[in-house]
Amino acid sequence: MSLYAVVDPATGKTVREYPTATDEQMQAALSAAEKAHREWSRGSTVVERAGLLSKVAELHTERRDELAKIIQREMGKPLDQSLGEVDFSAAIYQYYADNAEKFLADEPIDLVEGAGTALIRRHSIGVLIGIMPWNYPYYQVARFAGPNLALGNTIVLKHAPQCPESAAALHQIFTDAGYPEGAYVNVYATNEQIADAIADPRVQGVSLTGSERAGAAVAEIAGRNLKKVVLELGGSDPFIVLSSDDLDATVKAAVEGRFENTGQACNAAKRFIIAEDLYDDFVGRFTAEVLATADELAPLSSVAAADRLSEQVQQAIAEGATLVSEGDRKGAFFPPAVLTNVSRDSRTYREELFGPVATVYKVRSEEEAVELANDTPFGLGSYVFTTDPDQAYRVADSLEAGMVFVNAVGAEGVELPFGGVKRSGFGRELGKYGIDEFVNKKLIRVS
């Protein structure tokens, strides 16, 4: 089987295979991107680039049904969630189209001494490599491509091997929007080809969303070649419940936070940390709601993903955890489950569970909740539910995470920066910070 192929996880059948790029095609992609930056980017205005992004947003909206069905085939996402992803992606492109002039405006600096003026002027830096995952095939690309195309960087994009059809559809959108050849290039590249491309002098930076292992490999190559890198890696986000005046609503938020995209989101709520006085009631209601999702859950992205999750769950059980589940594993379909009594000595305790399995812990105090929440190698997102506003800010300040959401799930927005700390990576995407990563903040001092 080709490295790049659409394999429907619902049936296990290969829909279509795509040929891997040759070394000559990779070189041509890099040359085209370098040429586009030298000729198109440097000769274009922010207004012109914003206009192209508006067209990209418009084409996402026009083709939303077709685009949604593609990723449903590729990675099993329910159609309503697939449509939502397309819409959110369109909103990201439009956000940068609407705000590029403001974000890229000259930034005056007040001189401490001496006559004259000083300012920061933002410029593109050149060709960027984007390495994208399978779980959000359009949204992840939008977070990376939107701000960087507004800035004038050009992009060589390697998508996940199971997302070749959506990768081609995106390439076509950028072409149809009016981008010149090389501004956005899709490549069906191997990992070895991408490693060589990162080291290529024509490339100035790389952004990866994916696993810790992939992030470490890319960061090593980028560092060795003095290239800027942005990494958005895994997460094991805590969902802390310290008090609630509507426990049913809190449980509903917990289920939504865990099971969006069948639990396959880096920033999904994964570890539920519950105050002692609420624990029994929460676990009872939460478990009932989790088990009730059994008949409506979509498959995981692949049989391999389900195998990995099954291994982690069985490891936790072998090390003393208690499992409550509903239904049987069938191929890529994984039954929803709740794990309790997971030992801190368990290997699974330190790992990210990427699928419809939640772990629940009991704590006796706010301090214990924060300590448990921070006892992880990850630091992407986090969720705090409390009726005490002072406690909300106090706990938010104490959490070792890039994002904290208080009394809400699904509250992300195009204007809100996304990213983490610790082994969840570094750098930010979305909002005004997302356009400030791969940029030359050039000082111009006039005396």
Q: Looking at the annotation, which residues are catalytic?
A: 232, 266
C-alpha to C-alpha distance for 138 and 77, rounded to whole angstroms: 12
b/e burial code for range 3-19 (CB count within 10 A of at least 16 → b):
bbbbbbbeeeeeeeebe
- Residue among 418, 429, 422, 416 nearest 399 (CA): 422
The encoded tokens of residue 330 equal: 């069938």
Angle of CA points 297, 298, 303, to nearest 5°: 120
Token digits of residue 76: 């099993």
**DSSP labels for 180-247?**
PTTSEEE----HHHHHHHHHSTTEEEEEEES-HHHHHHHHHHHHHTT-EEEEE----EEEEES--S-H
| Partners of 253 in the β-ladder | none
Measured distance between the N- and C-terminal CA atoms of the chain, rounded to whole angstroms? 64
Planar angle of CA 75, 5, 2, nearest 5 degrees: 150
Backbone CA torsion sign across 271, 274, 280, 286: negative
The residues, any chain, with a CB within 8 Å of residue 117's CB and separated by 6 or more, are 108, 111, 445, 446
> What would you report as the CA-atom Rg of the chain, rounded to the nearest whole angstrom?
23
* 103-110 long-range contacts, CB within 8 A, separation 24+: 103/150, 103/432, 103/435, 103/436, 104/46, 104/150, 104/151, 104/435, 109/443
Contacts of 408 (CB under 8 A, 6+ apart): 253, 383
